[in-house]
Amino acid sequence: MKKHIAPVPLDKASRLLNHGPATLVSARHAGTDNVMAVSWACMLDYAPPKVTVVLGQGAKTRELIEKSGTFVLQIPTAAQLRLTYDVGHISLADDPEKLKKSGVTLFEMDAHDLPFVAGCAAWLACKVIPEAHNQETYDLFMAEVIAAWSDTRAFKDGRWHFEKAGSGWRSLHYVAGGRFYAIGEALDTAEGMPE
């Protein structure tokens, strides 16, 4: 897998999240790694790229983020449907074996002390912009994207290649309960896709 991973320039990072995929958020603190599923993740700015994520009060991963000030936001694939559902429905507090039972494999990226979920289509390393009022009143966290990467089989040269990649690479889009949609077909206006 790692031979397929390439950096994504920060000025293209918004393209990883614009289409509204379900995400996995991972974090590390004091020797504990955890992953949660986050549907309510959205871009906040282009340059530098920033994101918002809504992290519920009881989430263990949120605690790690509050302490470390960093997290990885990654884009899971259709092949990771079950993993994404499980990671979203099992709490590390209830089950210390959560990651193993969900089939999560973590890997490292040089120079980033963060856990990355293997098999995803893209990863954004994020640094929290502390905004206590938002965090406490709305569970809304804002962060700057400090680096991004993609698996080039899914996203390369600044664009998604869902049409060419196998169907297992398609992004997931959550509705409720166990229902997700995969992303579908590309639709271009005459202006087409910029470089």
Closer residue to a second copy in complex, CB, 93/175: 175
Class of residue 145 by CB neighbours under 10 A (exposed 0-12, middle 13-18, buried 19+): buried
Least spacing, CB of residue 133 vs a second copy, in Å:
7
Total residue count of the chain as it appears in this document: 195
**Interface residue list for a second copy (CB under 8 A):** 14-15, 18-22, 39-45, 50, 52, 54, 78, 81-82, 85, 131, 133-134, 138-140, 142, 158-160, 162, 170, 172-194
CA distance 149 to 64: 22
Q: Within 13 Å of residue 180, how many CA atoms lie on the same side as its CB?
A: 25
Closer residue to a second copy in complex, CB, 51/114: 51
Least spacing, CB of residue 168 vs a second copy, in Å:
11
Closer residue to a second copy in complex, CB, 114/128: 128
Least spacing, CB of residue 11 vs a second copy, in Å:
11
Do residues 106 and 100 touch, judged by C-beta distance below 8 A? no
Tell whether omega for the bond before 7 is within 30 degrees of 0, i.e. cis: no
